[in-house]
């Protein structure tokens, strides 16, 4: 494997990402492929069907060949690898020493909040939002304070609502950036205003930036701590290669703290937090950030083609379903409110169409009437899924 910071030294060929045939995919043992029977097309969980990047696969195999499966007690070269990746990708200057590792972004969020707030403190989140957020805040001892996104004319943070919640006593903001499920990449100006509001109320911002490497071409992503002085002082960013490189099961995530205040929050966390990192995940993460960008760019191209196909399929088979093309990720937030499928269309679609989508209400009250679909699959699977959903909607209209 290449040393961190030595991009381009690998001689592994980067193929165009592609999904294997369905019969091969069904031999996988992840939750995506074991939750439902084989007659269901699983487009619910945020996991790509594409084969691993060769450099990532080789990094994992290399550790296995070396019988190096012990505890990952330190970040190794991941801090430098991520700092270089962040500089190239987003122009963000990160000190490698400010990067700490643990098992996954959920743990980054829980342990950061646990160390930063007092039991019962309010933590703001912005539904519709990644469902585990609703559980991670109580796990950390906090109380969920909901300030929904504004839906029209486009998705956006409700900064006035956030200001009111902070004034009422909320002590932290759990930011999803880019925002899952709607694929919103927050404007620099909105992030700067959020930082000012949080700082003025002595609150911290934990920014889940797991989808950042999947921002679509032509869209500017700004890491929260890079927005300005206020954000750098009160923000902690959670990162991982897991979504962009399909490594959720490898278990490695990063917290990035850029001020004395936020570094102290990370330092207050138990030592066991960093020991939860998988040594295989650490190796895979380093390889992804050092030598995986060609694969990532090719993957973003394929994802873009999937969204093009989705738009064509919706126009042909589901004209009553509405959606805004996301600015990041491989997840589409579909609005079924005009189809007559009720508050939880995903359940109806699973039952009648044998397509598994992520249920909209799981993302909070604003998710009623919506469902999330994963387009990081083969064109054939996506086409069949939308055709099945179209038949469900047509049957409902006829009944």
Identify the DSSP state of 8: T
Same domain, 271 and 255: yes
Q: How many domains does the chain have?
A: 2
pLDDT tens-place string over residues 124-172: 999 999 999 999 999 999 999 999 999 978 899 999 999 999 999 999 9
Tokens representing residue 88 in the block = 């190239």
Spatial separation of the C-alpha atoms in residues 283 and 191, rounded to whole Å? 32
Instruction: Please give the residue range of the domain that contains residue 229.
Output: 58-291
Same domain, 214 and 359: no
Query: For residue 13, is pLDDT > 90?
Result: no
pLDDT band at 301 (very low <50, low <70, confident <90, very high): very high
Same domain, 206 and 354: no
Same domain, 299 and 285: no
Spatial separation of the C-alpha atoms in residues 318 and 321, rounded to whole Å? 6
pLDDT band at 8 (very low <50, low <70, confident <90, very high): very low
pLDDT band at 5 (very low <50, low <70, confident <90, very high): very low
Q: What value does the mean pLDDT take over residues 186-214?
A: 98
17 lies in some domain: no
Which percentage of the chain shows pLDDT scores above 90?
94
Query: For residue 399, is pLDDT > 90?
Result: no
Listed residues 270, 291, 312: the one ending a domain: 291
On average, the pLDDT of the chain sits at 95
Q: What value does the mean pLDDT take over residues 70-80?
A: 94
Tokens representing residue 205 in the block = 């911002």
Same domain, 135 and 268: yes
Spatial separation of the C-alpha atoms in residues 65 and 87, rounded to whole Å? 32
Same domain, 144 and 217: yes
Same domain, 76 and 205: yes
Please state the pTM of the whole predicted model: 0.95
Spatial separation of the C-alpha atoms in residues 211 and 327, rounded to whole Å? 10
Nearest Cα to 52, choosing from 331, 283, 296?
A: 296
Q: What value does the mean pLDDT take over residues 54-69?
A: 97
pLDDT tens-place string over residues 231-260: 999 999 999 999 999 999 999 999 999 999
Q: Are 240 and 210 in contact (CB under 8 A)?
A: yes
Same domain, 270 and 282: yes
| Cis, bond preceding 128 (omega within 30 deg of 0) | yes
Residue 73: CA atoms inside 13 Å, Cβ hemisphere, count?
A: 2
Q: Domain with 364 in it: what CATH number?
A: 3.90.1150.10
9 lies in some domain: no
pLDDT band at 10 (very low <50, low <70, confident <90, very high): low
Residue 178: CA atoms inside 13 Å, Cβ hemisphere, count?
A: 23
> Which region among 3-12, 280-289, 305-314 has the lowest average model confidence (pLDDT)?
3-12
Query: For residue 43, is pLDDT > 50?
Result: yes
Same domain, 283 and 210: yes
pLDDT band at 2 (very low <50, low <70, confident <90, very high): very low
> Which region among 160-169, 357-366, 390-399 has the lowest average model confidence (pLDDT)?
390-399
Q: Domain with 87 in it: what CATH number?
A: 3.40.640.10
| Cis, bond preceding 379 (omega within 30 deg of 0) | no
Task: Outline where the chain has alpha helix (H).
Answer: 22-25, 31-34, 54-65, 78-90, 105-116, 133-139, 159-167, 188-200, 229-234, 242-245, 260-267, 272-275, 279-291, 293-317, 345-353, 379-398
358 lies in some domain: yes
Spatial separation of the C-alpha atoms in residues 104 and 83, rounded to whole Å? 18
Q: What is the pLDDT of residue 73?
A: 86
pLDDT band at 4 (very low <50, low <70, confident <90, very high): very low
| Sign of torsion over alpha carbons 242, 248, 250, 252 | positive
Same domain, 324 and 217: no
Q: What value does the mean pLDDT take over residues 226-230?
A: 97
Q: What is the pLDDT of residue 11?
A: 64
């Amino acid at each position: 494997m290449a040393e961190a910071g030595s991009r381009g030294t690998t001689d592994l060929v980067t193929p165009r990402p592609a999904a294997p045939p369905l019969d091969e995919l069904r031999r996988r043992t992840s939750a995506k492929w074991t939750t439902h029977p084989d007659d269901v097309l699983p487009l619910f969980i945020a996991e790509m069907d594409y084969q691993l990047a060769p450099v990532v696969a080789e990094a994992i195999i290399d550790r296995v060949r070396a019988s190096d499966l012990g505890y990952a007690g330190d970040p190794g070269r991941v801090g430098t690898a991520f700092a270089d990746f962040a500089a190239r990708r987003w122009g963000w200057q990160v000190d490698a020493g400010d990067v700490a590792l643990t098992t996954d972004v959920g743990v980054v969020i829980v342990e950061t909040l646990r160390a930063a707030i007092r039991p019962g403190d309010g933590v703001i989140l912005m539904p519709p939002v990644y469902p585990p957020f609703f559980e991670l805040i109580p796990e950390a001892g906090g109380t969920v304070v909901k300030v929904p996104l504004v839906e029209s004319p486009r998705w956006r943070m409700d900064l006035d609502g956030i200001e009111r919640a902070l004034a009422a006593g909320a002590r932290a903001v759990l930011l999803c950036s880019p925002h899952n499920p709607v694929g919103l990449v927050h404007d620099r100006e909105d992030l700067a205003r959020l930082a000012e509001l949080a700082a003025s109320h002595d609150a911290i911002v934990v920014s889940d930036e797991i989808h950042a490497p999947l921002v679509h071409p032509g869209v500017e992503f700004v890491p929260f701590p890079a927005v300005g002085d206020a954000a750098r002082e009160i923000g902690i960013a959670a990162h991982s290669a897991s979504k962009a490189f399909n490594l959720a099961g490898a278990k490695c995530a990063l917290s990035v703290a850029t001020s004395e205040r936020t570094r102290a929050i990370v330092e207050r966390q138990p030592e066991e937090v960093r020991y939860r990192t998988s040594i295989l995940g650490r190796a895979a993460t380093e390889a992804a950030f050092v030598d995986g960008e060609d694969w990532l760019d090719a993957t973003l191209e394929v994802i873009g083609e999937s969204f093009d196909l989705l738009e064509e399929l919706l126009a042909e088979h589901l004209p009553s379903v509405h959606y805004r093309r996301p600015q990041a990720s491989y997840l589409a937030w579909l609005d079924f409110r005009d189809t007559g499928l009720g508050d939880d269309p995903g359940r109806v679609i699973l039952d009648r169409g044998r397509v598994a989508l992520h249920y909209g209400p799981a993302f909070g009250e604003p998710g009623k009437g919506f469902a999330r679909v994963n387009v990081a699959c083969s064109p054939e699977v996506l086409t069949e899924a939308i055709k099945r959903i179209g038949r469900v909607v047509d049957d409902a209209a006829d009944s």
